[in-house]
Amino acid sequence: MSFSALPKIGMGTFRLKGNDARDAVKSALSLGYRHIDTAQVYENEAEVGDGIVSSGIPRREIFLTTKIWHDKLHASDLINSLHDSLARLKTDHVDLALIHWPSPGNDVPMSEYLGALRDAQREGLTNHIGISNFTCAQMDQAREILEDTPIFTNQVEVHPFLNNRKVIEHAKKLGIIVTGYMPLAVGKVMEDDTLIRIGSRHNASPAQIAIAWALARGVVPIPSSTRPKHQKANLDALKVELNADDIRAIDELDRGDRLANPEFAPDWD
């Protein structure tokens, strides 16, 4: 099965280690998730692979994403590292391979690592290719380099306190789906009065409201949770329908609160 579209919500595995990662993936799949997101730097690809195998869900029914770390961006390193990821994930391909961060200081030219990623796609190591943490200008550059090869997604931080509007609008213009990581702002959404108030009107938790808001903006959220109860609640956010006033009120919570901002990050929009 080759997915032509990302499932509307995914299960993120950032910070999940060992048995927690294994059990969380297995549980998420049993609850109905079909999109699992990991990365080389999470050091949990083997456990994610175990969770997928032990779930009993056929691999062809699961959309699996991994991300290539910035120390593996030279062409030969990139291809070799993706082979290693596939071995750890116990699969012969991923559905989506992303460049996790643009090369810090542009040490490796974008044309080199995106060209290698396209080669990986041609070799069948991944069905789709994409980017993560790319700015508007970097998306333009990537689009130019890849020409007719589609950029499937740009995965960026999106939550009510960092709405990343510029990047989302620019990605839409370029026909690139936005995947939103940290949609719950590492739990901060649970304490927000506006989200609590809107949630009480919809009989939903603040977390569900934050996820529903991302969905309403056309963003694919990938919340992370080890607890089946929370995983199910996150999935149930698909049923929450916010009105225009709700969305406007949540939009106003934006305060540029960026949680993922390492030293090597690009100059953000």
Catalytic residues: 42
| Distances, alpha carbon 194 to alpha carbons 159, 160, 206, 214, 220, in Å | 14, 10, 9, 15, 22
Phi-psi sector, 91: left (phi>0), alpha (psi -120 to 50), beta? beta
Give yes or no for a contact between 267 and 135, defined as CB atoms under 8 angstroms apart: yes
Cβ–Cβ under 8 Å, residues 34 and 5: no
Question: 130 — phi, psi (to 5°)?
Answer: -165, -170
| Residue 100 assigned as binding residue | yes
Nearest Cα to 181, choosing from 207, 220, 142?
A: 220
Q: What single letter denotes the amino acid at residue 107?
A: D
Q: Which residue positions form the known binding site for substrate?
A: 100
